[in-house]
Amino acid sequence: MPELPEVETVARGLRDTVLGRTIARVRLKAPPGSTVVSPAFGQKRFERILRGRTILDVRRRGKNILLALSGDATLWVHLKMTGHFYYLRKTEPVDRHDLVVIDFKAALGCDNGKNLRFNDYRRFGRLRLYRDDELWQQRGLGDLGPEPLEMSSREFLSICRRSSRMIKPALLDQTFVAGLGNIYADESLHAARIHPRRATASISSRKLLELHHHIQRLLKSAINKMGTSVDSYAGVNGQPGRFQKYLRVYGREGLPCKFCGRAVVREKVGSRSAHFCPRCQRP
């Protein structure tokens, strides 16, 4: 699933391409029964409501993308496992996995020969439309934890001290910290040399401060390299990320740790897998 750096890269790509554009037409290509669009909307109603609205802002919150629209409405997008936005030439054939196609009104200074497509071959992605006064009441947005790039070290310490739980599942909990997933949690814990099963209450303040530093450092570096492409992730321009070249433990099971040479292991921690070095990250 795309994590904070990948979603931030997509949000920036949307700002560069469709910010300020007015929607001329929406074509919902999802098959009957698909939940890519809220079941509360019929296909024609969803297309009709979006038509004529201008994209006023594009924001990221955790792993979510929020497109603020004219008329006090917001399109809330979650890419889930395999969702993509692509900005493509209208002449390119519509792929069978292009579930939503958005055309824009012609405008000066814009590439009027392209449209925006939401593509998702597994059909787990979600596009939800809400009035602005309803948006932050929705589960999955209103209950998100702080942004890791915005929280101070003091705030991170306070969050970790509120309860005692295994650090890896805590980092994956979006109500704890918003935007982290398996990749950057594993990489941050390895950089700080903290075992993924360590209880938050047992980790010293010094180590937690070190972890906070590595979380922010790795996220910023991954954003600069347009994210990590380990499956199908790509930006709005179709280009993959480059941070996968710098991974030290994630996806490297059986390969030598880049700190000590011991083989990286993968074990189930909580309900998710974790990659770590058993020598550098002792229990």
Contact in structure between 195 and 283 (CB atoms under 8 Å):
yes
**d(Cα 124, Cα 144) in Å, to the nearest integer?**
20
Q: What residue ranges do the domains of the chain occupy?
A: 4-135, 153-276
Active-site choice (3, 6, 47, 210): 3
| Calpha distance 97→29 (Å, rounded) | 8
Catalytic residue among 2, 5, 148, 196, which?
2
Per-residue pLDDT, 35: 84
Mean pLDDT, each 10-residue run in order, the chain (283 residues): 96 98 95 80 86 98 98 97 97 96 95 97 94 95 97 97 95 98 98 98 97 98 96 92 97 96 97 96 94
Q: Which of 161, 190, 167, 162 is nearest to 252 (CA)?
A: 190
Q: Is 157 left (phi over 0), alpha (psi -120 to 50) or beta?
A: alpha
Mark whether 150 is an active-site residue: no
Residue 272 falls in the annotated catalytic set: yes
pLDDT computed for residue 266 by the predictor: 98
What is the predicted pLDDT for the residue at 33? Answer: 73
153-276: what CATH class?
Answer: mainly alpha
Structurally, what CATH architecture does the domain formed by 4-135 represent?
Alpha-Beta Barrel (3.20)
Query: Which among 27, 51, 165, 272 is annotated as catalytic?
Result: 272
Q: Is residue 63 within 8 Å of 78, Cβ to Cβ?
A: yes
In the three-class reduction of DSSP (H, G, I as helix; E, B as strand; rest coil), residue 254 is classed as: coil
Which candidate, 84, 6, 4, places its Cα nearest to that of 242?
6
Residue 63 annotated to the active site: yes
Do 153-276 and 4-135 fall under one CATH topology? Answer: no
Question: Following CA atoms 33, 37, 43, 49 in sequence, which dihedral angle do they give, to the nearest 10 degrees?
Answer: 170
116 pairs with which residues across the strands?
87, 102
Specify the pLDDT at position 125.
Answer: 94
- Residue 40 pLDDT: 72
User: Which one of 63, 117, 126, 168 is the catalytic residue?
Assistant: 63
Examine the residue annotation and report whether 92 is marked as an active-site residue of this protein: no
Per-residue b or e along 122-157, where b marks 16 or more CB atoms closer than 10 Å to that residue's CB: ebebbbbbbeeeebeeeebbeebbbebeebeeeebb
Per the CB < 8 A criterion, the answer to whether 15 and 58 are in contact is yes
